[in-house]
Amino acid sequence: MPLTYLSGEEIRGGDRVLYHGEAGTVEFIAKAEDPETAWRVENFGGGCMIIASGFGRVFVSEPDEDLELVARDAPLS
């Protein structure tokens, strides 16, 4: 089941977001099938890494009212 914003939209890597009012980017989504992030799923139940200059990195493991989608890059064709 994909991780979503409270709006219901799926969280995707590269999304530009606001987190607690700070501009940031979704650096990656932790997925069980990805060997680089599987341990995060095992320990935190999945989630996404947010990166912003105001606070560095934070791992969000549940939908959060302070995480808002601002813009999404157009899909590659």
Predicted confidence at residue 12, as pLDDT, reads 93
CA dist 39 and 8 (Å) reads 26
Across the 77 residues of the chain, what is the mean pLDDT of every consecutive 10-residue run? 86 94 93 88 87 91 87 69
Tell me the CA distances in angstroms from 44 to 12, 15, 53, 55, 60, one per residue in order.
18, 21, 24, 20, 9
Residue 53 is predicted with a pLDDT of 86
* Pairing mode of beta strands 22-30, 56-60: unpaired
